[in-house]
Amino acid sequence: MHVHFLDPFRPRSSPVHRLDARVKFVLALAFILTTALAPMAAWPVYILLFALVLCIKILSDLGVRYVLRRSALALPFVLAALPMIFTIPGEPVALLHLGGWTITVTQPGLERFISIALKSWISMQSAILLAASTSFPDLLAAMRAVRVPRLLVAMFGLMWRYLFVLVDEAVRLLRGRAARSGQSSRPGQRAGGSIAWRARVAGGMAGNLFLRAFERSERIYMAMVARGYDGEVRHLPLPAVSAADWGILIVGLTVLGSLMRLGLLASL
């Protein structure tokens, strides 16, 4: 079995897919920075940012539902900001009675919580669009273009190449454990020994995975040496960014810059 479904890249022939990966990478980072810089409770800015991301979503042919479904995955983290609703002092909006306790929901608290959740959700969508419309080798080229160290880029590439192989191994280990373990359908009947014992089994599986990874890396090294590897990471030179892509980069950055200005308006 191959777990290629882990790969988020969806090949399409949309203008977003065809755009130079370097331009896309820079624009996605600029978008996330603009979202982060938008002040709290700047609702018009959030709406415009969302509209922008929606626009690109439609242009990309990925399907709005696909992106929205994926973007829901990080929502549990929003819990971390939940206490803000009650702890920021300000005008009370509602009183909650929980047993003997009364909790006050304040307006600034509520605004702050919703702002954080929305900003996080909008940023997430642009990151999903980048990953779904750009193949990983193109992303690596984009990282080289923004001067990420060569050694690190080479490691990213190797990790990506063997990720699926090792995830397959992990799935096989999990299947092996499931096949050798008894399981009771009676609720409350615990399968296996103590927690420490179960942790040791999982640890043994992880150790097995690491040993296989070590051995595999030795074989990979031999194969690389056989093909002329001498410790230096070499790349083909990157092709020039086309004039049209430069245009898109400049227009995109201008739009994001003006959204930052609108954030200024909203914060006054």
- Residues 16-35 touching other proteins, rule: CB under 8 A, are 28-29, 32-33, 35
Closer residue to other proteins, CB minimum distance, 98 or 240: 98
Token pair of 106, please? 């304040």
Is there a contact between 48 and 170 (Cβ–Cβ < 8 Å)?
Answer: no
- Min dist. Cβ of residue 68 to other proteins (A): 13
Query: Cα Rg for the chain, rounded, in angstroms?
Result: 24
Closer residue to other proteins, CB minimum distance, 101 or 214: 214
Closer residue to other proteins, CB minimum distance, 136 or 249: 136
Contacts with other proteins, 99-138, as mask; x by CB under 8 A:
-------------x---xxxxxxxxx--xx-xx----x--
From the list 94, 103, 146, 202, which residue makes contact with other proteins (rule: CB under 8 A)? 202
- Min dist. Cβ of residue 57 to other proteins (A): 9
199 binds other proteins (CB under 8 A): yes
211 binds other proteins (CB under 8 A): yes
Single-letter amino acid code for the residue at 70: R
From the list 224, 238, 250, 251, which residue makes contact with other proteins (rule: CB under 8 A)? 224
Token pair of 81, please? 């900001």
Sign of the alpha-carbon torsion through 82, 83, 88, 93 = positive
- Phi-psi category of residue 41: left, alpha or beta, with phi > 0 → left and psi -120 to 50 → alpha: left
Angle at CA of residue 123, ends 14 and 240, nearest 5°: 45
From the list 26, 173, 241, 253, which residue makes contact with other proteins (rule: CB under 8 A)? 173
73 binds other proteins (CB under 8 A): yes
CB proximity list for 268: less than 8 A, separation 6 or greater: none
